[in-house]
Chains A and B, each alone.
Chain A
Amino acid sequence: AQSVTQLDSQVPVFEEAPVELRCNYSSSVSVYLFWYVQYPNQGLQLLLKYLSGSTLVKGINGFEAEFNKSQTSFHLRKPSVHISDTAEYFCAVTVIQGAQKLVFGQGTRLTINP
């Protein structure tokens, strides 16, 4: 079975600073990878996804992520954050073949300080 580990439960950064949210996954077969964002009292919204092709994936709100198969990682980055990026971020994985279902990590709470 696949699993996801988000290495940081909380990440505080200052506004306009760069940020990286780390995600590692475990799976014996090929996977699709996703990042979702959850703003306070709202449902999850897809930020970006990796299905195939270029390992650098660009998403909404200036976020991007890089798939590294050898390190089984899918870290999320943004070069300059804004106050409005304060939210919970979830990495998720699913297998390509077989029973497809999203398996989520524990989440990383990103707090942007002025």
Chain B
Amino acid sequence: EAGVAQSPRYKIIEKRQSVAFWCNPISGHATLYWYQQILGQGPKLLIQFQNNGVVDDSQLPKDRFSAERLKGVDSTLKIQPAKLEDSAVYLCASSLEILSVTFFGQGTRLTVV
């Protein structure tokens, strides 16, 4: 079965610019997650969707980060404007339902200069 697809793999932007990441989960997976992994740290959950709805976005910096899940399938994560501390790998993951086995994409490595 196809895995979780993410694009782009790498992105370099200047601070105060905007950036968007795209994720296509495994077909049929109702739950979709976005994680932020800063170098040397474990992944931190930014937002969790169940179908179209947001289950948890308590750690999403809502003044600059936004995310949506179109028709309960693909998702985009946007940062506007970016800060230097946003440099990280952004991981998308999906599961059939909350807390069944979670599959991760390869991530998007963002560098803000």
Binding site for B on A (CB under 8 A): 4, 6, 32, 36, 41-46, 49, 90, 92, 94, 99-107
Nearest CB of chain B from residue A92's CB, rounded to whole Å? 8
- The A interface, classified by DSSP as helix, strand, loop or mixed, is strand
**CB-based nearest A residue for B3:** A43
Q: Is the pair B42, A104 in contact by a Cβ cutoff of 8 Å?
A: yes
Q: Is the pair B91, A43 in contact by a Cβ cutoff of 8 Å?
A: yes
Binding site for A on B (CB under 8 A): 4, 33, 40-45, 48, 55-56, 91, 93, 98-99, 101-107
Contacts of A6 in B (CB 8 A): 42
- A4, B48: Cα distance in complex, Å: 20
- A66, B33: Cα distance in complex, Å: 27
Nearest CB of chain A from residue B2's CB, rounded to whole Å? 13
- A92, B43: Cα distance in complex, Å: 10
Q: Is the pair B99, A94 in contact by a Cβ cutoff of 8 Å?
A: yes
Q: Is the pair A90, B91 in contact by a Cβ cutoff of 8 Å?
A: no
Given contacts A44-B93, A94-B99, A105-B42, 17 further A-B contacts (CB under 8 A): A36-B104, A44-B43, A46-B101, A46-B102, A90-B43, A92-B42, A99-B55, A99-B56, A100-B99, A101-B33, A101-B48, A101-B56, A102-B45, A103-B45, A104-B42, A104-B44, A106-B40
- Among A94, A100, A104, the residue within 8 A (CB) of B43 is A104
Q: Is the pair B102, A102 in contact by a Cβ cutoff of 8 Å?
A: yes
- A46, B101: Cα distance in complex, Å: 8
Q: Is the pair B104, A45 in contact by a Cβ cutoff of 8 Å?
A: yes
- Can you offer 29 A-B residue contacts whose CB atoms are under 8 A? A36-B104, A41-B106, A43-B4, A43-B91, A43-B93, A43-B105, A43-B106, A44-B43, A44-B91, A46-B101, A46-B102, A46-B103, A90-B42, A90-B43, A92-B42, A94-B99, A101-B33, A101-B45, A101-B56, A102-B33, A102-B43, A102-B45, A102-B102, A104-B42, A104-B43, A105-B42, A106-B42, A107-B40, A107-B42
